[in-house]
């Protein structure tokens, strides 16, 4: 596995690289946003780990450019910015996961494996088309359309949307959603699920009269056409 790390703290970068090397994971690192994109384009990587406040373009802008190049590669933010608004912004730019500093190296390793394993499992699935009212999901090509218009969503949002659609209108509790989108040993709080649902609503439902994503207060979420 090859990972590209964006981190301007050279000492921390070396610690991460050494830690991952001991677990047979190759990790290259750069400390500046523009350089990250240049390196990313030249070599094949299975994952990107980004800090936000770095020299040059920010980690958020780097994430945005990564998504223009590759929609499927897992992107994990590793940053000291711990406000919920920072997480919302990162997810909206295309993040798959978010860890705040200071962090536990073993948890980082667990999350890396979980993200890459999930990405690989999606690559191996056969083509399948899911349809609910005017919402269409191409599972093989990761394409979402609402009323014929392509909806740009992140990989994690895509996983959540597919989970809701495949439930066929059944209410999914937050713990269940967390267990399906993250490994069981990776802690996910309630706010994280709410963030993803709200991001998905803004992209899927906001511009449409017929809302598909619903909340059953005290129970969870479900997707169903009101028509």
Q: Is residue 227 very low, low, confident or very high in pLDDT (cuts 50, 70, 90)?
A: low
Q: What are the distances in angstroms from CA 82 to CA 34, 64, 85, 157, 225?
A: 24, 20, 8, 21, 36
User: For the segment 189-221, what is each residue's pLDDT rounded down to a tens digit?
Assistant: 667 888 899 999 999 999 898 999 999 998 999
Assign a CATH topology to domain 2-123: Rossmann fold (3.40.50)
Sequence-separated (6 or more) residues with CB below 8 Å from residue 148: 134
31-35, 97-101, 148-152: which has the minimum mean pLDDT? Answer: 148-152
User: For the segment 13-72, what is each residue's pLDDT rounded down to a tens digit?
Assistant: 999 999 999 998 999 999 999 999 999 998 889 999 999 999 999 999 999 999 988 888
User: Mean per-residue pLDDT for 163-173?
Assistant: 94
What local confidence, expressed as pLDDT, does residue 185 receive? 45
Q: Is residue 147 very low, low, confident or very high in pLDDT (cuts 50, 70, 90)?
A: confident
47-50 and 2-6 as β-strands: parallel, antiparallel, unpaired?
parallel
User: Which CATH architecture describes the domain 129-223?
Assistant: Orthogonal Bundle (1.10)
What local confidence, expressed as pLDDT, does residue 118 receive? 79
58-67, 111-120, 124-133: which has the minimum mean pLDDT? Answer: 124-133
What is the Cα–Cα distance from 53 to 59, expressed in whole angstroms?
7
Domain locations in the chain? 2-123, 129-223
> Is the fold of 2-123 the same as that of 129-223?
no
Model pTM? 0.60
Q: Is residue 149 very low, low, confident or very high in pLDDT (cuts 50, 70, 90)?
A: confident
Cis peptide before 117 (omega within 30 of 0): no
What integer best gives the mean pLDDT of the chain?
A: 88
């Amino acid at each position: 596995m090859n990972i590209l790390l964006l981190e301007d703290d050279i000492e921390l970068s070396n610690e991460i690289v050494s830690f991952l090397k001991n677990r047979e994971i190759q990790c290259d690192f750069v400390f500046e946003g523009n350089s990250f994109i240049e390196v990313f384009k030249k070599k094949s990587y299975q994952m990107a780990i980004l800090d936000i406040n770095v020299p040059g373009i920010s980690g958020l802008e780097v994430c945005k450019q990564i998504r223009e190049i590759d929609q499927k590669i897992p992107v994990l933010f590793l940053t000291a910015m711990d406000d919920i608004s920072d997480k919302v912004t990162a997810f909206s730019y295309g993040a798959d996961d978010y860890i705040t500093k200071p962090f536990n190296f073993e948890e980082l390793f667990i999350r890396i494996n979980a993200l890459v394993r999930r990405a690989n499992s999606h690559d191996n699935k056969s083509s399948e088309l899911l349809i609910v009212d005017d919402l269409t999901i191409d599972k093989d090509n990761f394409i979402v359309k609402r009323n014929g218009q392509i909806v740009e969503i992140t990989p994690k949002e895509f996983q959540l949307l597919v989970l809701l659609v495949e439930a066929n209108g059944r209410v999914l509790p937050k713990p269940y959603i967390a267990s399906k989108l993250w490994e069981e040993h990776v802690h996910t709080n309630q706010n994280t699920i709410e963030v993803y649902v709200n991001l998905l609503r803004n992209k899927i439902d906001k511009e449409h009269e017929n809302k598909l994503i619903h909340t059953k207060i005290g129970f969870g979420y479900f997707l169903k056409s009101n028509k």
